[in-house]
C-alpha cells in the first residue's frame, strides 16, 4: 500500500480507527518481513549444510576406494551401505558408461529404480560434466541436493541425492508457528492500539468539539484535559484565548451599541427650509467617530433660516465620539437661548475646556442661511471654511473668517461673518477635512480640485444626489485603501 493511499485512508477515518489500523499494519508488515527473511536465510543454510555433508561423504568414499583398492562387488556395496545421509537419501557408483557398480540402498539404482534415482540419472545424462557437480534441483517433484564427483582413476563417479523435504518440513512447521505468533502479535497490537487510541483520541475529540463550540459562538464553557501535561497546558491556552474572545466580544457589543447611539445622534431627517435644498452624510473610519453635523433651532433666527452645525473632534474612535456627544448636548441645550452664533460657540468652548481639561479639542462651523434674504452668516472655530460653488465655474470660493478650535483656550469670543448675494443654483458645501484628504493606494489625496469638479458636474441635481455622487467618487478614488479619517459633509443648494 502506497504512502499517499495510506494517508488518504487515515484522513477519512477517525483516530480511534486509524491508529489501531496503522499499528496493526506496522506490526504485521514487520513480522512478515522477519518471517520471510528467516525462511530465506534458513533455506540457504540448509542447502549449504547439505552440500558440505555430501562433500565430506564423497571425500571419505574416494579415500576408502583409493586406499583399499576396492573393486566392484560386495566390498563396494558394504562401503555405500555404510553411508548415512538420512531418510530418502540415495547413493551409487557408476562407471564412465553410466553402469551402476554399487548402490545404497541396493535397489535404488538397479533395475526397477525409484523415480528419484531415475530422474537424477536422466539429469546427469543431459548434463555432462568432467568434474564435481553440486546442484539443488527439483527431481520428480522432490526438492533435493544432487552431488556427483569422480572417485577413481578408472572413471568411476559417485552420485548422491539428498532430499531436502524432511529438513524443510521442520522449517515449514516453524514458519506456521511463526505465522500463528505473528497473528497473535497483530491481535495484541490491535488491542493495544485501540486502548491507546481511546486514551489519545478522547482528549483530542473533546478538544475538537470544544473548538467547534467556540466557532459556533459558545464562549461560556472552559475545558480542562488532564491526560498529560501537554493537554493541561493546551487547555489553559485555549481557556485564555476564549477569555480574550469574551472580552473582545463584549467590546464589540459595546462598540456596536455606541455606533447605534451615535447614529441616532445624527439628524434622521432634514427640516423644511423655504428656498433651500439640504442633505448631509457622515462616514466613520471606526465603529464610532468624532464628526458631527446637525440642524438647529437657534433663538433670534426666524424659522425660514437654516442653521447648520458641522464639527470635527480631534482623533477618532470612542474618545472622540464621547467628546462629540458631549458637545452635541451642550449645543442643543444652549442654542435656544443663544443671543448670537458667536455667543453660542463661546459658551461651547468654555464647557469643552472645563470637561476635557484641554486633552481634546474640536473644530466647529455654524452657518445660518436665509434664501429669502440671499444671505449667509457663519462663525468658525478652527474648522474648514464654507465652500461656495457657482455652477459652471468648476472651482470653490472659500469664505474666510474664524477663530481658534473649541477646547483650547477658555474665554474666547468668536466673530460672526456675513456673505450676501446668494443666487439660485449656488451650492454651499460644509465638510470635514477627511473628504478631500482621502487617499488612494498610491498615497494621492482626493483633493479640492477633484471635489469641486464632482460637485460642478452634478450641480443641476438635488442635494441628496450631489451627496451620493461625492460618496461614490471618494469610494472609487480610494479603491482598496483603508479609510483613515472620518468624513462628513452637508450640501446646500439655493433654489
Over the stretch 449-472, which tens digit does the pLDDT of each residue have? 999 999 999 999 999 999 999 999
pLDDT digit string (tens) for 175-233?
A: 677 777 777 777 777 777 677 767 777 777 788 888 888 777 777 788 887 777 887 88
- Looking at domain 3-169, its CATH superfamily turns out to be PAS domain (3.30.450.20)
What pLDDT is stored for residue 6 in this prediction? 47
Q: What is the DSSP string of 401-462?
A: --BPPBTSSTT-----EEEE---TT-EEEEE-TTTTT-B-TTS-B--HHHHHHHHHHTTTS-
Q: Domain map of the chain by residue range?
A: 3-169, 219-258, 271-494
Instruction: State the pLDDT at residue 76.
Output: 79
CA gap 50, 167 in Å, rounded: 10
* Cα–Cα distance, 315 to 323 (Å, whole number): 10
Spans of the chain, pLDDT less than 70? 1-25, 27-29, 31-36, 38-43, 105-114, 129, 153, 167, 171, 175, 193, 197, 255, 258-259, 261-262, 287-288, 315-317, 357-359
Q: Which residues does residue 104 pair with via DSSP β-bridges, in sequence order?
A: 91
User: Could you give the C-alpha distances from 253 to 245, 260, 268, 287, in angstroms and in order?
Assistant: 12, 11, 23, 11
Residue 484: other Cβ atoms inside 10 A: 13
pLDDT in tens, 141-172: 888 888 888 887 677 888 888 888 776 777 67
Sheet of strand 291-296: strand arrangement: 291-296, 305-313, 362-370, 375-381, 417-420
Q: Buried (b) or exposed (e) across 265-276, using 16+ Cβ within 10 A? A: eebeebeebebb
Distance CA 365, CA 293 (A): 9
Write down the pLDDT at residue 252.
Answer: 76
Q: Are 435 and 388 in contact (CB under 8 A)?
A: no
> 271-494: which CATH topology?
Phosphatase 2c; domain 1 (3.60.40)
In the prediction, which pLDDT does 379 show?
95
The pLDDT of residue 404 is 92
Q: How far apart are CA 409 and CA 405, in angstroms?
A: 8
Phi, psi of 388 (to 5 degrees): -110, 130
Q: Which three cell numbers stand for residue 254?
A: 459595546
Burial of 1 (0-12, 13-18, 19+ CB in 10 A): exposed
Amino acid at each position: 500500500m502506497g504512502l499517499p493511499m495510506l494517508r488518504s485512508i487515515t484522513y477519512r477515518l477517525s483516530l480511534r480507527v486509524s491508529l489501531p489500523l496503522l499499528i496493526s499494519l506496522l506490526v504485521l508488515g514487520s513480522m512478515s518481513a522477519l518471517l520471510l527473511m528467516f525462511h530465506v536465510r534458513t533455506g540457504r543454510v540448509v542447502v549449504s549444510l547439505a552440500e558440505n555433508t555430501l562433500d565430506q561423504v564423497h571425500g571419505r568414499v574416494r579415500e576408502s576406494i583409493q586406499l583399499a583398492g576396492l573393486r566392484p562387488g560386495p566390498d563396494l556395496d558394504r562401503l555405500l551401505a555404510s553411508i548415512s545421509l538420512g531418510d530418502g537419501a540415495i547413493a551409487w557408483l557408476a562407471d564412465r558408461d553410466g553402469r551402476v557398480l554399487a548402490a545404497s540402498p541396493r535397489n535404488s539404482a538397479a533395475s526397477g529404480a525409484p523415480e528419484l534415482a531415475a530422474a537424477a540419472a536422466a539429469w546427469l545424462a543431459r548434463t555432462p560434466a568432467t568434474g564435481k557437480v553440486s546442484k539443488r534441483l527439483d527431481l520428480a517433484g522432490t526438492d533435493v541436493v544432487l552431488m556427483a564427483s569422480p572417485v577413481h582413476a578408472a572413471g568411476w563417479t559417485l552420485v548422491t541425492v539428498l532430499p531436502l523435504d524432511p529438513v524443510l518440513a521442520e522449517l515449514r512447521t516453524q514458519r506456521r508457528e511463526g505465522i500463528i505468533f505473528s497473528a497473535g502479535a497483530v491481535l495484541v497490537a490491535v488491542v493495544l492500539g485501540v486502548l491507546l487510541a481511546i486514551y489519545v483520541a478522547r482528549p483530542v475529540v473533546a478538544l475538537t468539539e470544544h473548538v467547534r463550540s467556540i466557532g459556533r459562538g459558545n464562549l461560556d464553557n472552559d475545558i480542562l484535559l488532564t491526560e498529560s501535561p501537554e493537554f493541561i497546558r493546551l487547555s489553559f491556552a485555549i481557556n485564555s484565548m476564549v477569555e480574550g474572545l469574551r472580552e473582545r466580544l463584549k467590546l464589540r457589543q459595546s462598540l456596536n451599541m455606541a455606533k447605534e447611539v451615535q447614529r441616532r445622534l445624527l439628524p434622521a431627517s432634514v427640516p423644511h427650509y423655504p428656498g433651500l435644498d439640504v442633505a448631509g452624510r457622515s462616514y466613520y473610519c471606526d465603529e464610532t467617530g468624532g464628526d458631527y453635523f446637525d440642524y438647529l433651532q437657534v433663538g433670534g433666527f426666524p424659522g425660514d433660516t437654516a442653521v447648520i452645525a458641522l464639527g470635527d473632534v480631534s482623533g477618532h474612535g470612542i474618545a472622540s465620539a464621547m467628546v462629540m456627544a458631549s458637545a452635541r448636548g451642550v449645543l442643543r441645550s444652549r442654542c435656544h437661548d443663544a443671543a448670537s452664533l458667536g455667543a453660542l460657540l463661546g459658551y461651547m468652548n468654555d464647557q469643552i475646556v472645563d470637561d476635557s481639561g484641554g486633552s481634546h479639542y474640536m473644530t466647529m462651523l455654524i452657518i445660518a442661511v436665509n434664501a429669502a434674504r440671499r444671505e449667509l452668516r457663519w462663525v468658525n472655530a478652527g474648522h474648514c471654511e464654507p465652500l461656495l460653488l457657482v455652477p459652471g465655474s468648476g472651482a470653490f470660493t472659500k469664505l474666510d473668517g474664524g477663530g481658534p478650535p473649541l477646547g483650547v483656550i477658555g474665554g474666547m469670543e468668536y466673530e460672526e461673518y456675513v456673505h450676501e448675494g446668494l443666487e439660485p443654483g449656488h451650492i454651499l458645501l460644509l465638510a470635514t477635512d477627511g473628504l478631500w484628504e482621502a487617499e488612494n493606494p498610491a498615497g494621492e489625496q482626493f483633493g479640492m480640485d477633484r471635489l469641486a469638479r464632482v460637485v460642478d458636474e452634478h450641480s443641476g441635481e438635488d442635494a441628496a444626489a450631489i451627496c451620493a455622487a461625492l460618496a461614490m467618487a471618494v469610494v472609487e478614488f480610494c479603491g482598496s485603501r483603508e479609510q483613515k479619517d472620518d468624513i462628513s459633509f452637508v450640501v446646500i443648494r439655493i433654489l
